[in-house]
Structure 1
């Protein structure tokens, strides 16, 4: 951080883009350049071909390539050097997510005067899965360079601590890990859950705009069906889109639903088109949608409206307002903020959230209809229950969830994390 405004160290967004640091809106922006080869090996390779599937319960098979690991180390060091140069004396460096797990220790080596936080936005796997990683010790040691390590769920923090005990044999107690230092001393690292959230006020402001409300009404009229079910996801194999389509397709095939009674709008925004697994997933989903629409649509209605594109936030809020049922059926998800966005904007307390028990949001939104997306029959039952839920029950459940989301917004998430950073910093100063 520099003064009160701080610096943001990040990739410039394009291969081989070499830009000098510059100031924008009170913040120092420090671009880090990555080559085409590094994007392939570090980002598409190790980050998303190794860590992403491994940390998401091996839903897809991770690949362990040494060349990918070498690129990951090299790029992490470049980010660490940029952060170490940007941070003020005695400042605070906050590292974000699984692409940079080695950065905390690298920054500590370069700048022992600073306090370091790390937040892990995706799940942290059980030890039996994590142990597959050939560089498992190096990653743990990299993360333990931080003073505070944040996870989405209590279970994720527990998985991390179990890996620490099994592989590094460091003692843990409650939310802390005791880490030995090179001078035969020790330091305490906080490792616990800080469930991330959304900017509630921004979503509420959009939901009150007359043009957004009018757009929601227009969407309902265009859909034509009695009920609108909505899925909003990145096109990713962790999101359970295939399972959702299978359940809905079987409801149509069984005669429990018709396209006139309920339409599924599925938005799947493009994601990692350079990764083969994602190309295959897109092909499979589009074939499934085409088959269901061919069998169960009519001239007047379309069973599934599938949209492989991203949309501005205003359009998303209009869709949230239009949807009777929100389907969040991830096979594994660190949090899933779509669930919280939907709940936040339902100011009339109508609507039903169907939420995977394997999404981090399930820990907080227990009044949703929780579902195991692997259980297709169970998901079909839950979808039918959601479509027929009385308004009184909708209101009771939604009020409880909205209070949770509003009370625990993203600002509170940040304050809670920084408070623990300040606690560590104060303890160091008083030592």
Structure 2
């Protein structure tokens, strides 16, 4: 296999198997972001192909070299469903659900991270740049440095990094910190996340941290600098703008409104079905507004898209049951023959349909209890080429740091959320336009290309310094 000058390492390859055994590009923000980076470079992408025990050689797809990492069904259960999503995910999301600490999961996590590090080391040319992605692979940077000290290594953390009081619960906290510090640049979504990481390094490892640089001791008693900074991720803004101007997509938006009975106002939530997204909180607020008579089911409909997620993890099974019970209760109490309070869709949709939904929605509800970024908020803004619509945005989503003209909420404050929804529905067109233009400028100027350029520029500086 030829070796690449630039290597991405992620839990998943950017493709899914189709019904005919071929490959198609998989959905998701990471794939969209990384596709842009991979264009026009001598690159390879290392990742799991999405099916257990699938043993296939590296192959080319849509201009990218893909390097599959074979994982067994047990690997998926222990490393991915176990440690990644039942230990790290809840711990790093402020313990909204209780994390579980199991040594068997940790051992599998370490073993699988070694598989990814070895595959990346084999795929990288002499002196190559390797960019490791996200919480499933926190040990890879150090393992990779041990295998290939000639490489320049970056790591980007797509989810929050918790405050030290929470992170310190992790039995393997030192190993995780040391794993991440194998990178030359460690990127986070928010300034607060980078600060939390630096504090954990000082408290646990006693390394010197100053002005966003950690001094990492080396075997020869020197210290290697590791840059720790916020690099807020974004979207391919132009793609959403182009779709929003497509006559077919605009016609579909009108069809959606008509299919809902042409309510005066459509509220929209688009989330993975995850306990961090605050879906139950938004349902509660909307249901109470209808009960209180502040909203009328014939005037206002909530469309909730909840794409399937981690369907074998117990907390997610329970969450789905709770949300569907709440939807059924609210609809049973409030529906008329011609109008439905909540149109609930437990499925995923192609990007064209999502943009049509964004155009149809008068109010976008992003009520995350904790979120690394939340790209849906940016997708809604990018799609509103008409400078209309209102974004209600949780202050606990990373996007809140950038999107200051949104209507900000604390999703735990149900009364405050109810007031924000009514305010958004009643907002005059002039104020909508003023807010949306400011939001659109921010999203336009800080798109996914700007994000990747910023990170890779910081990584390149470490190579030359």
TM-score class, shorter: over 0.9
> Which residue in 2 is equivalent to 1:253?
291
How far is 1:260 from its partner? 1.0
Deviations 1:83-131 (A, max 9, x none): 0010010010100000000000000000000000000000000000000
Query: Does 2:241 match 1:239?
Result: no
1:117 maps to: 154
Q: Cα deviations across residues 330-373 of structure 1 (Å, max 9, x unaligned)?
A: 00000000000000111111000000000000000010000000
1:205 matched to which residue of 2? Answer: 242
* Contact kept? 2:245, 2:385, Cα under 8 Å: no
1:5 touches 1:26 (CA, 8 Å); kept in 2?
no
Distance (whole Å) between structure 2 residues aligned to residue 383 and residue 6 of structure 1:
46
d(CA) in 1 for partners of 2:49, 2:430? 49
Q: Could you tell me which residue of structure 1 aligns to residue 356 of structure 2?
A: 318
Q: How much has 1:208 moved relative to structure 2?
A: 1.1
Q: Map 1:169-318; keep pairs closer than 5 Å.
A: 169-224=206-261, 225-318=263-356
Counterpart check, 1:397 vs 2:416 = no
Tell whether the 8 Å contact from 2:52 to 2:72 is kept in structure 1 after alignment.
yes
Q: Secondary structure at the match of 1:335?
A: coil
Structure 1 residues 8-407: aligned runs within 5 Å: 8-224=45-261, 225-407=263-445
Query: 1:252-308: per-residue Cα shift (whole Å, max 9, x none)?
Result: 111111111210000000000000000000000000000000000100100000000
Q: Which runs of 5+ in 2 are unaligned?
A: 6-40
Q: 1:26: how far off?
A: 3.1
- CA distance in 2 between partners of 1:339 and 1:312 (Å): 17
TM-score (norm 2): 0.91
- State the Cα distance separating 1:205 from its structure 2 match: 1.2
Q: Is the 8 A contact 1:105 1:143 kept in 2?
A: yes
Q: How many Å apart are 1:223 and its aligned residue?
A: 1.4
Which residue pairs with 2:25 in the alignment?
Answer: none
Taking the aligned partners of 2:72 and 2:282, their CA distance within structure 1 comes to 38
Counterpart residue number, 2:15 = none
Cα distance in 2 for partners of 1:28, 1:327 equals 38
**CA distance in 2: counterparts of 1:183 and 1:25, whole angstroms:** 44
Equivalent residues of 2:305, 2:344 under 8 A apart:
yes
| Higher alpha-carbon deviation: 48-57 or 171-180 | 171-180
Aligned to 2:26: none
Give, in angstroms, the shift of residue 314 of structure 1: 0.3
1:422 match: 460
Deviation at 1:25, TM superposition (A): 3.1
- Cα distance between partner residues in 1 of 2:307 and 2:62: 29
Per-residue deviation, 1:374: 0.3
Indicate the larger mover: 408-417 or 25-34. 25-34
Q: Secondary structure at the match of 1:88?
A: strand
Equivalent residue of 1:134, what SS?
Answer: coil
- 1:192, CA displacement in angstroms? 0.5
Give the secondary-structure state (helix, strand or coil) at the position aligned to 2:385: coil
Q: Deviations over 1:121-180 (max 9, x none)?
A: 000000000000000000000000000000000000000000000000011111111111
What 5-or-longer segments of structure 1 have no aligned partner? none
* 1:186-237 deviation line (CA, Å, top 9, x unaligned): 1111101000000011111111111000000111112121100000000000
CA contact (8 A) 2:214 2:227 kept: yes
- The residue matched to 2:277 in structure 1 has which SS? coil
Q: Tell me, what secondary structure is at the counterpart of 2:276?
A: coil
